[in-house]
Amino acid sequence: MNPDLSITALVLQASFVVQLVMAGLLITSLASWTVIFSKLFGLKRVRNANEEFEREFWSGRSLTELNTAVGQKSDSAPMERIFASGMREFLKLRERRLDAGAQLDGARRAMRASFQRELDVVESNLSFLASVASVSPYVGLFGTVWGIMHAFVGLSNLQQVTLASVAPGIAEALVATAIGLFAAIPAVVAYNRFARDIDRIAIQMETFIEEFSNILQRNAGGGTGPGQTTMAATTTQMR
């Protein structure tokens, strides 16, 4: 009789350890795909929100009006929160009559701290994809080695060993490696893609911090009060 070498039969006929490895890899692959789709839509939402705020920021509105509008939003963009933290610290230090350098340094530190928090949120679950990409092939290889050992132990009880008797045991063991690669390859591709997208988002936010710092520097050196801080003139100079 020809042995059944279908994928389903190979999985069902595999030893308990190999089946456990396969189940773990399938669960890991499912979790990886969940993270991939969540990250794909999440990063797209962050990019669109940042770009929308940038257009509003450079539209010529006053900083105080923009700060008030950002504070009224329940779901603000990362760049909006960076702006709000810098603006809040700048106005607080200005009310205390500190010199221009102290105002600018305080606002910059506040924006840098907010930038790190936002970057941590954007990078969440990225390490999970890296772990799946690097570990899954080795877990699958472990299942394959264990399955081949189990198959050869079974063959030791046979009087005559043929290719037909060896093939099922080796084939079911190799399925574990295939599942490991199935889990690892999408994670590798997604990790590289998301790492590149996150770098672009980080560069965009760092550029905004520098541009906003230049605007605050001009306002800190001027004689306007906190409620009169505007950028209608400075936006045309910066762009």
pTM > 0.85: yes or no: no
Nearest residue to 125 (alpha-carbon basis) of 195, 199, 210:
195
- Output the six-digit token pair for 138: 């080795």
Note the residue count of the chain: 239
Report domain extents, the chain: 7-68+77-238
Flag whether pLDDT at 14 surpasses 90: no
Which of 43-47, 122-126, 156-160, 166-170 comes out lowest in average pLDDT? Answer: 156-160
The Cα 195–Cα 123 span in angstroms is 8
What rounded mean pLDDT belongs to the chain? 83
Q: 194-211, pLDDT tens digit by residue?
A: 999 999 999 999 999 999
